[in-house]
Amino acid sequence: MQRRLFLKGLGLVGVATSLTSPGIAMAGGMLDPMQSRFAGALFYTMDAPGRWAGKEAGHVPMIERSGNMIEVTTGHEMDGYTHYIVKHILLDENLDFVAETMFNPETDAPISTYDITGMANALYAVSLCNKHDAWLNRLSL
């Protein structure tokens, strides 16, 4: 998917940006997307909701950890195919794809679980809404 390649490419942007913007680079020189100029424009976060201000509570994926398992929950109602969470995507600290869970808006709640054994430093969860775009959250490990 082109979005994955673009998000992964943010790492290259991060190396260049970290040279001129200290304090927003993560370990390894990679840009923390939560602090990038793309937050609030290309994707949305709790702190950078952009044009979707006021929609954070129902769209930002919440991440809860229990041992080597995490549960990602989006507090969004599933209104059939009219307005729903399409999927959750899990990315590692380098923004590499780890897993995704697709939802059937007629039968599913936007809740997914993942085994994070072997993951280090951080992970990112993306919640994709069919009307309000992609929302990102980060969990430090």
Per the model's pLDDT, the better-predicted residue between 83 and 35 turns out to be 83
Q: Give the count of alpha carbons within 13 A of 59, CB side only.
A: 23
Supply the pLDDT for residue 30: 61
Q: What is the CATH number of the domain that holds 136?
A: 2.60.40.730
φ, ψ of residue 51 to 5 degrees: the values are -70, -10
- Domain-embedded: residue 6: no
User: What is the mean pLDDT of the segment spanning 85-114?
Assistant: 97
- Domain-embedded: residue 5: no
- Is the model's pLDDT at 3 over the cut of 80? no
- Domain-embedded: residue 111: yes
Per the model's pLDDT, the better-predicted residue between 18 and 93 turns out to be 93
Structural domain tally of the chain?
1
pTM over 0.85: no
Structure tokens at 44: 């949305």
Supply the pLDDT for residue 17: 39
Structure tokens at 15: 């190396």
pLDDT in tens, 38-95: 999 999 999 999 999 999 999 999 999 999 999 999 999 999 999 999 999 999 999 9
- Domain-embedded: residue 33: no
- Domain-embedded: residue 4: no
- Domain-embedded: residue 81: yes
**Segments forming the whole domain that contains residue 134:** 39-140
Helix residue ranges per DSSP H, 32-109:
56-59
- Domain-embedded: residue 65: yes
- Domain-embedded: residue 106: yes
H-helix or E-strand spanning residue 17: helix 2-20
Q: How far apart are CA 24 and CA 35, in angstroms?
A: 6
